[in-house]
Structure 1
Amino acid sequence: MGGASVNDLAQQYGIHRATVFAHLRRRSTPRRRVGLDVDEGAEAVRLFRGGVSMRAISRRLGVGRKAVRACLVEAGAIEDQ
């Protein structure tokens, strides 16, 4: 199952996300890094400045919208409110 998201696992096994986290924690499974790396961040900023929505960027890069927003704020592409 390497690389599957918590949401995917929860849906696949018909259990709550918290249960998936509990199983992973018991087995000391390392968690995936949250957010965008430098190249993904640059791509997110380029796409956003080109008129692509945060939702579309998050789908394209396979990360959450909040991660895209945080990246855009850090890059100065949008203001933090």
Structure 2
Amino acid sequence: MTIEVGSVIEGTVTGITKFGAFVELPDKKVGLVHISEVANEYVKDVNDFLKVRDKVSVKVLSVDDKGKIALSIKQTQAAPEKKEFRP
């Protein structure tokens, strides 16, 4: 399976660090979901949102020349409703 930028695929969380989570994709490829791409809200600790072996949908953000894959979970979720500011 070719990993294409913009595609949404299923993966499994294989590791969690303070800066994000590693997700195994089809064909045993592994990508990184940076902490800023985990959820539509502020994430202080990735462990509050993900656990190892969780199944997640991820969007492929980029694949560099060395094969590093950048992923996003939040871009597969509906955007939160914006609250109207009323002074």
Please report the TM-score for the alignment, with normalisation by the length of structure 2: 0.21
- Higher share of residues assigned helix: 1
Please report the TM-score for the alignment, with normalisation by the length of structure 1: 0.21
Greater RCO structure (CA 8 Å; 6+ sep): 2
